[in-house]
Each structure stands twice: as structure tokens, then as C-alpha cells.
Structure 1
Amino acid sequence: MSDASSPRGSSEPSAQADPGPGTRPVGRAPASERWLVFVLTTMGMLAAVDRQILSLLINPIKADLGLTDVQISLVIGAAFALAHIAFTLPAGYIADSRSARMLVAGGGWVWSIMTMGCGVTTNFIQMFVMRAGVGAGEAAINPGALAILRRAIPSERRGRAFGTFYMSLMIGAAIAVLVGGLLVGAIERNRDAFGGIMSDISPWRVALFIVGGIGIPISALMLTIRIPAAQAARPPERGVAQDAPAKADADPVSFRAALYFISANRRFYLPLWVSNVAFMLNTAAFAGWLAAMAQRNFGLSAQDTGIALGSAMLIMPQLGLLVSGRLIDRLGVGLGLKGASLVGAIGATGFWLGATLVPQMQTEMAFFAALWISYLFCQAPMPAYATLLSAITPAELMGKITSIQLILLGVLGMAIGPTLVALVSDNFLSGPRAIANALSIVAFSVGWIPVVGFLALRRVL
């Protein structure tokens, strides 16, 4: 490990080394850097569309395939998450040691084809397998993208870069429900115009085939970006044991080195990951059941739900991410990484309250008004998580440590969140508002954990 194990007082850090918050002004990014962020954000949007489109189509899929709520929750949660977990470690290794650019491009082609495959399934097993294929392909996006951003973006601009990248999650989800709803409505209105076999195909199948097919050419955009050669970084934050892999006599680019580094800095990684896992569980539960809950509680069609949810998702989360990213960069000048943890705590508090209260709104107007406000916070902590992780983690370990984090998020967050809501609903609640009440119970029970995690990080930074 070259720079990562060098003395803290080295006078000539590498071009990618972190000199510490507040030592350089926040400058304008060059065109190549902006294009790189744009392409990665586009790929993130594509992944979010393919991941989220199924939640809009829960009710027609359930009716056509004869699935239960628990089976649906396994498809949207566990099937995706388990495959995502299985392929995340290999993706993290490739991101650090091979071509992160080709990793993300290849992942995009895989998840697009598997989304098309979801549209031709006829039973639970087939849908589970195809959905798992989507999860396997999407295992590439976060390790690949975060490793590229860690390598290519200077520390003083990372808050904005991570904020922009994480905007892709909600923009993609908004496209999934907004455009997806309009697409399903258009297919339903015009299906007879095609005649023959097309008139007998369910609109949700056509929608999945179209959405998946679009991703194949879009993924080729990854071939147009340029990535700087990997260089080790030497974070200056106090308490970071940068020489842990060297002391362990480990290969500095192996998973063994990553595990030693995590162990040596567990006072940082433990609260960061506990906070992030709890936040992921809450957001996965909320996102997975929100459309179905709105349709059941207020009798909305898939098209009306898509327009209503998509409009909110297209605006408010992006505003929260923009403000969050800029605040992290600005506060970093005076507060260092404590500024990022403060921004994260504020965002996590807002979503804790929002996710608990939104399902309890009794009228359609009150529901969507509260939803618009809560969406301001639903992704606001994400730039803080990424900024803190990238500031402490050496560049040559970023893909691997990110992949380890994603496994925790997948096992304890994405896989459990939607299914936990279904289990609470099916076993402890009844009536038309069972899902809504289950969502509030889960949100209230776990939403405080991310807040406490961010506050705990302020004590070790």
C-alpha cells in the first residue's frame, strides 16, 4: 500500500490524496468530470427504474400470477437482495482491480435483459429467478460508480458529486412510477389497436419489456468516460489506522486488507454501517409498499398512482440531495467531516418522522401533501454516508469496502424491509389499512437508529 501506509506528515501527497476538509476551496469541475458524473448518474437512474418499476405493477402482477402479499414481497425484496449480495463482493473486487467502467456497463446490460425477462414470467418461481437476475446485474452499479467517483473526484467536490449521483435513485424511481404509470395507461388504451396476440398480453408485461429494452443502448454510454489511474489516498482524519493492512502483512488490494482496515477503524465503520442499514431498511419498506398502499387506501389506478407519486419523487428528493451535497461541501470548510454527519442526522430525522406519519393520513390530499414534505428527506443522508466513507477509505480499497457495506445493506435492509412490513400486516393487523399501519410501525421502530448513528460518528471524527 503506497500512500495509504506512508507517514501522516508526508509533504507530497498523491493527486488523489485527501488533504483534509477546509484546505482547498470548492471549485468548478472540468467538463470531463461533469460528463463522468452525468453518465454514472444516468446509469444509476436506469438501475433505479428497473428496480422500482415492479412496485407500481404489484397489483396486476399479483392478480395475473395468483401471488400472495408475502410472495410479492419476496419478489421485490429478497429475490433482488439475495442475488445482489451474491454478486456484490466479486463486483467490488473487479471495481478495484479490473475495469470499473466495463463492470458498470456489463451490469447494465444484464439487469436490462433480466427486466425484460420479468415480463414473460408465468408463476412465482420464474418471477423470483428473473428478479434475482436484475439484482445480480445491479450489484455492479454501486461498487463500480463509487470507486470511480472516489478515484476521479477531488475531496472538495465529492459532496456535490455524490449528491448528484444519488439523485439518480429518486429520479429513476420517479421515472419508474411516473412514466411507467403513463406507459401502462397508454398500453391499456391502445392494446386493441395492435390486434392479434398483442391484445391478449397484459399491459404490465409490455411495460417491463419496453423498460428493460431501453437500458441496452444506454449502458453503452459507460464506454465514453475516462477514469484516472488508481492512486492510494491518505485520509488525514484523526484516529484512522491507515497502516492496518501493512501491519497485517496483507496484500494491500485484497479483501483481507479491506477487512483488516475495517477492523482497525471499527469505531468509525460500526456506527456508519448500523446507521446506513437502518436507513436502508426504512426506505426499502417505504418504497416497496407505497404505491400499493396508495392504490388500496384511495382506490387509485396504476396510472394515477404513477403520476401522483412520480411528480413528488421527481422534485423533492432531488432538492434534498442538492441541498445536502452543497451543505456537506460548505460545512466541511469549518467543521470537517462533522459537518457531513450533522447534515446526515438532520436528513435522517426528517425521514423518520415522514415515513411514520405519511401512511396515517386519512385523505388523499393530506397523504400526498405529507408525502411531498417527507420526500425532501428520503435521500438527504445518502451524500453524507458516501462522503464519510470515501474520506476514510483508501482509493484502492473503495470498491471492496463498498461491496461489503452493500452486502450488509442488502441482507439487513433491502431484503428485510418490504417483507417485515408484510409480516407485520399479515400476522398482527387486519383490514384495508393493514399495510399502512404496518409501514408506520416499522418506520417508527427503526427510524431513530440512523439519527443516533450519525450523532455517534461526530464523537469519533
Structure 2
Amino acid sequence: MQTVTTVPRGYPRQAYAWFVVGLLTLAYMLSFIDRQILSLLVAPIRRDLDISDTQMSLLMGFSFALFYTFFGIPLGRLADTASRRWIVTLGVAVWSAATAFCGFAHHYWQLFAGRMGVGVGEAALSPAAYSLIADSFPPERRSIAMSVYGMGIFLGAGTAMLVGGLIVGFASKQGELVLPLVGTTRPWQLVFYVLGGVGLIFAWFMLLIREPARQGATVASIPLREVIRTLMQHRRAVLMHNLGFACVALASYSAQAWLPSVWQRVHGWPIRDIGVIYGSVIAVSGCLGIVFAGWLADRWRARGISDATLRVGAIAAGCGAPLALLIPVMPSPGWLAALVFPLTFCFSMPFGVSAAAIQDLVPNRMRGQTSAIYLFVVTLIGLGIGPTAVAMCTDYVFVDDRKVGVSLAIVAFAAQLLACLLLAGGCRHFRKSLSEIEGRS
């Protein structure tokens, strides 16, 4: 007997909707490979460019986050009116070209400029992707779809470690390579060339996406002031949501940036081994955490728990905070890997539900701009501050490269604890806002 899947009116067929989610997840995964690869290359880049941890952290965080957030809002506005598939396609092409440019860097400022270009390209992806997914799934299925898309964070970060470690390990055995057109190439430069080339090829696949109908919306330009006015009507819920999930991001980005250095400096592991082990842990544990959170939030919402998304985030942060304190006391690299599995699970849980929550507070025609504002706050605080806070603690408080684990534990614990308090306190404001919205509909 053939099973017929009921498709909610106005939404695309679910098989195709999940195909779109799959493509967007691959794009998100690729973006995080390009975004996070630097954390595995700290030692060789510091050596070759003669820079400090703090300067390195600006490459990992601030240089990227500044332009990611600056361009995110206008690109989010564009996602509310223009072709979202073209926005995503061009974004992938731009950040991939900028990643390849990073390989040409022989001076700090050149690598800094390349990282700014990566930020500009990646700013195009998530506002358009969130809007596409929200128009492909009804609200009761949206958390799990957003969480699957959010898997790209951890698939990408994990793949960055795995592939980066293998390429660096292979290239290091060969020594400096001489490539056509570019000449003498160091192992870390080769990583950027490979990733940039793969991204430029993948960009063409994004044209397989078809624009879904904008649910309950006419395509019209909505002034930013109207979006701000709508958010101000729910300012308590929006503020607690944005700041709470930004603190989660701060802890997560700090860990992804500096855990490889903990293994290398404290436990003496080579880059290749770190890439294989840490990459596998991130990919598996991160994906399990984010999908579990999406499933749990949808299940709770089906039972009438309207603040399920924030509640899941608060629980994850509360569990992650004490685990972060254990980072510097792990006696061996194996024990650290064992700790990182549950730590990554907790850190990953909120990344899908946070995006789903913000979609519920605004009408369709504002989703791109609202997502961009949310990403502005989360990225500027999480990525712009997190890695640098750890580096400055190491450079200026402990003045000891081997204390990077202690610095990471302090920053991650404080951020997760604050996230738990903000998200738990924001639940009642979120429930109130949803009730007001439902009352007007």
C-alpha cells in the first residue's frame, strides 16, 4: 500500500524541501570549513608570519566577524526581496575566492584582508538560507529543519580539522612545494588553495535550488526602521534571545579556535593527529547535539510548550558550563578527547533552535533582515570577542602559551553560565510575545 505524505498548503513537497536543506547544509558546512581552518594552523602561521596569539585571534575572529556583521544586514534585507538562490550562489563564490586569496598571503595584513573577504561572502548565506527553510516547512517542523541546516557548523568544523590535518601532514612530509603560477608554497597555504578551489566548483550546484513561495507575504521592500519597530515590540524576548545565544556562540567559537592549541601545546600532539581526532569528535557529537535539540524542541512545542526553543538552549548552556571547567585538568590527550565529546554535544544544541525561535517572532517579509540582525549580534559577540578573549587572557594575564587551556576554561564557563541565566529568564518574555502575536493573527 502506497503511503501518501500530506504537504501543507503552499509549501513545497517535503522530499524537495529536504533536498534544499541538504544543499544549504553542504554550503554551511563549506563555510565553516573556510571559517574554522585557521584554528588548526595556528602554529605554522604564527611561525611564518611572526605573530602573537592575540594577532592570530584577530584573524580567527574579529577580521571575519567585522565584515560578516557589517554586510549581513543589507544582504539580509536583500534576501527579503530578491532571489535567494542567487544570493547564496554568489556568496559561496565570493568567500571561496577569498579563501584561495588567503593562500597567497606572505604578510599579516594580506591574510587579514583575505579573512575580511571570507566574512563578506559568508554574510550572504544564512539570512537567505533561514528564509528559504522557513518558506519550505510549516512552524511545527521548522526546528528540526533548522537544526539539520545548523549541522553544517559542526560538519564543517570537523571536516576542517580532518582535511586540514591530512593536507598539512602530507604537505609537511614533502616540504615546501612549487606549484604552477603561484611558485613556492608552504603546507598551510596549500590548504587555502584546495578549499577555495572546491568552493568555487560547489557554487554552481546552488543553482539547483528553486525559489519557494513566500508564505503569507508579498515581495516588497520593508524599511529597516519597520523591522526595528517590530522587534522593539518584543524587545525583552529579542534581547534575551540574542544575547543568550550570543554567549553560547562565544563559548563554542572559543573552544573551536583554541582546543587544537591545547592538544598541541599542553599534550604535545602533532597537527595531523589533532585534525583526525578533534575533527571526528566535532562532526559526530556536534551533529548529534544539534539534531537532538531540534527534535526535542519540536516535540515539546507539539505538547504546547511554546518557549521550547529557549528552554532547550538554557538547559544546554547549564550543562555545558561545568564541563568547560574541566578542560585544563584533563591528564592526557585521550581524556581531553573524551571530555570534548559531551562538551561539544552541549555547545552544539542551541544553534538550530535559536534560528527557529527568531523566525516565530516576525512576519515572513522581515525574516531575512531579522535573521541578519540576530547573526550580527551573535557573530560580533561570539566570534568577534570569544577567540580574542582567550588569546588576551593567555598573552596578558598568564603570559604563558601553555596556559591556553586555563584561559579557555574561564571564558567558556563564564559565557555558558551567563547564557543559561539569560535564556532561562527570557522564556516568560518569549511566551508573552508569542501569545500577543497569536492574538493578532
TM-score by length of structure 2 reads 0.91
Q: Which runs of 5+ in 1 are unaligned?
A: 1-13, 18-27, 234-250
Aligned counterparts of 1:103 and 1:355: Cα–Cα separation in 2: 37
Aligned length: 421
Structure 2 equivalent of residue 25 of structure 1: none
Q: Which amino acid aligns with 1:370?
A: L
> Cα deviations across residues 50-76 of structure 1 (Å, max 9, x unaligned)?
101111111101111111111111111
Give how far 1:195 is off.
9.0
Give how far 1:228 is off.
1.7
> Cα deviations across residues 396-436 of structure 1 (Å, max 9, x unaligned)?
10110111111112322211111111111112113353211
Q: Which runs of 5+ in 2 are unaligned?
A: 1-7, 432-441
Give how far 1:200 is off.
4.4
Give how far 1:263 is off.
0.6
Structure 2 CA distance for partners of 1:286 and 1:409, relative to 1, 3 Å:
same
Structure 2 equivalent of residue 22 of structure 1: none
Tell me, yes or no, if structure 1 residue 149 matches structure 2 residue 133.
Answer: yes
Structure 2 equivalent of residue 125 of structure 1: 109
Residue of structure 2 aligned with 1:182, choices 166, 173, 188? 166
Structure 2 CA distance for partners of 1:157 and 1:268, relative to 1, 3 Å:
same
Tell me, yes or no, if structure 1 residue 431 matches structure 2 residue 431.
Answer: no
Structure 2 CA distance for partners of 1:55 and 1:195, relative to 1, 3 Å:
closer
> Cα deviations across residues 289-332 of structure 1 (Å, max 9, x unaligned)?
11122111111111111011011012111111221111111111
Q: Contact 1:279/1:348 (CA < 8 Å) preserved in 2?
A: yes
Structure 2 equivalent of residue 286 of structure 1: 255
Tell me, yes or no, if structure 1 residue 41 matches structure 2 residue 25.
Answer: yes
Structure 1 equivalent of residue 305 of structure 2: 336
Structure 2 CA distance for partners of 1:163 and 1:195, relative to 1, 3 Å:
closer
Structure 1 equivalent of residue 15 of structure 2: 31
Structure 2 equivalent of residue 384 of structure 1: 353
Q: Contact 1:119/1:208 (CA < 8 Å) preserved in 2?
A: yes
Structure 1 equivalent of residue 318 of structure 2: 349
Residue of structure 2 aligned with 1:318, choices 278, 284, 287? 287
Aligned counterparts of 2:202 and 2:319: Cα–Cα separation in 1: 34
> Cα deviations across residues 222-241 of structure 1 (Å, max 9, x unaligned)?
111122222337xxxxxxxx
Residue of structure 2 aligned with 1:77, choices 61, 68, 88? 61
Aligned counterparts of 2:179 and 2:84: Cα–Cα separation in 1: 45
Aligned counterparts of 1:445 and 1:324: Cα–Cα separation in 2: 22
Map 1:36-435; keep pairs closer than 5 Å.
36-190=20-174, 200-232=184-216, 253-435=222-404
Aligned counterparts of 1:302 and 1:121: Cα–Cα separation in 2: 21
Q: Contact 1:192/1:198 (CA < 8 Å) preserved in 2?
A: no
Q: Which deviates further from its counterpart, 147-156 or 35-44?
A: 147-156
Aligned counterparts of 2:242 and 2:180: Cα–Cα separation in 1: 53
Give how far 1:337 is off.
2.2
Q: Which amino acid aligns with 2:149?
A: F
Identity among equivalent pairs (%): 32
Aligned partner of residue 97 in structure 1, secondary structure: coil
Give how far 1:340 is off.
2.3
Give how far 1:116 is off.
0.6
Aligned counterparts of 2:180 and 2:284: Cα–Cα separation in 1: 40
Structure 2 CA distance for partners of 1:399 and 1:295, relative to 1, 3 Å:
same
Aligned partner of residue 446 in structure 1, secondary structure: helix
Aligned partner of residue 447 in structure 1, secondary structure: helix
Give how far 1:15 is off.
5.0
Q: Contact 2:237/2:427 (CA < 8 Å) preserved in 1?
A: no
Q: Which amino acid aligns with 2:63?
A: A
Q: Which amino acid aligns with 1:381?
A: P
Q: Contact 2:179/2:185 (CA < 8 Å) preserved in 1?
A: no
Aligned partner of residue 135 in structure 2, secondary structure: helix
Aligned partner of residue 325 in structure 2, secondary structure: helix
- Please report the RMSD computed on the Cα atoms of aligned residues, expressed in angstroms: 2.2
Q: Contact 1:232/1:395 (CA < 8 Å) preserved in 2?
A: yes
Q: Contact 2:21/2:149 (CA < 8 Å) preserved in 1?
A: yes
Aligned counterparts of 1:425 and 1:231: Cα–Cα separation in 2: 49
Structure 2 CA distance for partners of 1:197 and 1:165, relative to 1, 3 Å:
closer
Aligned counterparts of 2:37 and 2:97: Cα–Cα separation in 1: 14
